Structure 1
Amino acid sequence: MAIQWYPGHMTSARKKAEETLEHIDVVIEVLDARVPAASHNPMIEEMRNFRQRPNLKILNKADLADPQITQAWLNYFNSQPNTKAVALSCKKAGDAKKIPGLCRQLAPHRGSPLKPLRMMIMGIPNVGKSTLMNALLNRRAAKVGDEPAVTKSQQRFDLGDNQSITDTPGMMWPKIEHESDGYMLAASHAIGRNAVIDEDVAEFLGNLLLKQYPALINTRYKLDAMKLDVQQIDGIDLLQAIAKRRAYKRNDGQWDMERTAMAFLTDYRGGAIGRVSLESPKSRAEMIALAAAKPEKINNEVENSTEADAQTDAS
């Protein structure tokens, strides 16, 4: 099932962002370090490139992500023109304080009384934009919540030292092209629960983590104690094992898979499983190549079928 989520207020948020960008010097895009490509909104790239604005990419929640894969993403993003990337945790005030200096490097002609440095924070919902704002301001100016799309309107703040920053609502895009992106975003809580089925998302996440981090999964859920081979089970088996270990049962005596799915997703989101990343530059390139090959395969099958039908008709 493809996951799509585009609440109505995001259309007006995009229009307002396009207008404000004319008066912005540096775009700060906050990404989830565990899913940097999936959490990148292509509309932000379009708007930024149209205005020819430099980009600081913040790989937030780096404390939850696989450090080796995060470094690979930093190498990838820092090779792009007019772009600088840094990994940090916005919950650490010291990390957030580095951001204005990095923006000054991208816009060295700004930052004087006559030409103040004007920054804008952008990104999809629930990647930590508001937490970053609060760390920069040393106060709770932006509303923070566990559910995505908490911020609904733009807010501009003066940081002093000839610097200002504009916070924007989290923005998705109308159509998520790759199905796996929707599931990774849902697992990372960037998509509202009304658009997903938790059990499906948890099964997807389980399959992914069993493949990429079997030792961490085994340690967290003690699968060997249940005589389960982590190399031989899938996401559904994993969820059933968690339900049994934690005795998650419904009133009718059946295993409570909805509660189990939420518990598993909560473990991932909070870092209880360990430092994991759901995609790397290599896996991303492979996924895109595979997706690009599918239409060609379908076209070839259609052509072959058409040719076979024509030969049958001719005979």
Structure 2
Amino acid sequence: TKAQRMIEENIGLVDAVCELLDARIPRASCNPDIDRLAAGKPRLVILNRCDLADPAVTKLWSAAFRDQGLAVLETDARSGKGINGFVPAVRALLADKLADYERKGQSGRGLKIMVLGIPNVGKSTFINKVAGRKAAAAGDKPGVTRGRQWINIDRGLDMLDTPGILWPKFDSQEVGEMLAVTNAIKSDVLDRETLAANFMLRLRELYPEALESRYGIKPTGDENGFELLELAAKRRGFLVSRGEYDIERMANTLLDEYHSGKLGRLSLERPE
């Protein structure tokens, strides 16, 4: 893709790579080409939107990434949580390079980093918070950031923003569904009722208490996703006609309420 070509053309200009992931779905929101694209550069993983994720699970992910030799920072770009730790984390990541510059009498030499992420992972908002101004184009639609721009975020530290990159084919239907549920891709590319039904099954597995507290249903483990949607629609009083409930409305309600955080802080993946 054009975005990947741009990254490949500019990777030699930077000292490190910063990859933004959605803390709720770190595996699904990681571009599978990142290892190749990063070309062996030191990497800092940003687990963004941590305020929407299960904090205990986020800690597990942080530990898992550190076990892989990666630096990790937990942030919520919208609220600014964790943002102040970014510059120190980059300088710690590149401490050896800074020490080398010092030995060579180049202590004033700056550092350059590249920030990567799939569309709609909060990259532009993150950059704006780090830079303290509206430095990157941001929007509600996936893939709104375009073109190349260098942004000064601290004395002697510049960041290269890149367009959001997303692989052309998902590894699995499950990955596509998690990206749709978290709004990384448009959910209308999938059937929303099927998406919501499968999401119900994931919630039953990971957070059955959320289904009970929000929708008043206690899954037995025998229901399929559509039956769970119907139970929730019944509890909400989403009646179409006598004895028939509005599954479509319930599907949209479920997805909207998860996206807005009304179901609580829920992480949809666990480290292996």
| Superposition TM-score, scaled by structure 2 size | 0.89
Match of 1:44 among 25, 31, 34: 34
Equivalent position amino acid for 2:27 in 1: A
Moved more, 264-273 or 106-115: 106-115
Report Cα offsets for 1:227-280 as digits up to 9, x if no partner.
Answer: x54544332122223333334456999644333222211211222111111111
Matches within 5 A, 1:150-299: 150-223=144-217, 229=219, 231-248=221-238, 255-282=245-272
SS at match of 1:42: coil
Identity of matched residues, % = 36
| Distance in structure 2 (CA, Å) of the matches to 1:97 and 1:153 | 26
Q: Secondary structure at the match of 1:57?
A: strand
Give the conservation status (yes or no) of the 8 Å contact 1:32–1:127. Answer: yes
User: Is residue 34 of structure 1 aligned with residue 28 of structure 2?
Assistant: no
User: Larger deviation: 157-166 or 27-36?
Assistant: 157-166
Q: Is the 8 A contact 2:219 2:228 kept in 1?
A: no
Q: 2:44 aligns with which of 46, 49, 56?
A: 56
8 Å CA contact retained: 1:210, 1:234: no
Aligned-residue offset at 1:76: 0.8
Q: Is contact 2:215–2:236 with CA below 8 Å preserved after alignment?
A: no
Q: 2:72 aligns with which of 60, 85, 91?
A: 85
Provide the secondary structure at the position in 2 that maps to 1:127: coil
* 1:105 matched to 2:92: yes
Secondary structure of the structure 2 residue equivalent to 1:281? coil
CA distance in 1: counterparts of 2:188 and 2:79, whole angstroms: 31
Number of residue equivalences = 265
Paired residues of 1:64 and 1:275 also in contact (CA < 8 A): yes
Contact 1:57 1:84 in 2 (8 A): yes
Distance 1:141 1:254, change over 3 A: farther
The 1-side partners of 2:165 and 2:267 are apart by 22
- Quote the Cα distance in structure 1 between the aligned partners of 2:266 and 2:202: 10
Please tell me the root mean square deviation across aligned C-alpha atoms, in Å: 2.3
Segment of structure 1 superposing worse, 131-140 or 205-214: 131-140
Alignment match, 1:24:
14
Q: Structure 1 residues 238-247 or 202-211, which shifts more?
A: 238-247
- Greater alpha carbon shift after TM alignment, 263-272 vs 243-252: 243-252
Contact persistence 2:182–2:259 (CA under 8 A): yes
C-alpha displacement of 1:162: 0.7
Distance in 2, matches of 1:30 and 1:180, equals 20
Contact 2:45/2:73 (<8 A) preserved: yes
Q: Secondary structure at the match of 1:140?
A: coil
Change (3 A) 1:138 1:249: farther
Rounded to whole Å, the distance in 2 between the matches of 1:277 and 1:204 is 15
Structure 2: which amino acid aligns with 1:68?
A: A
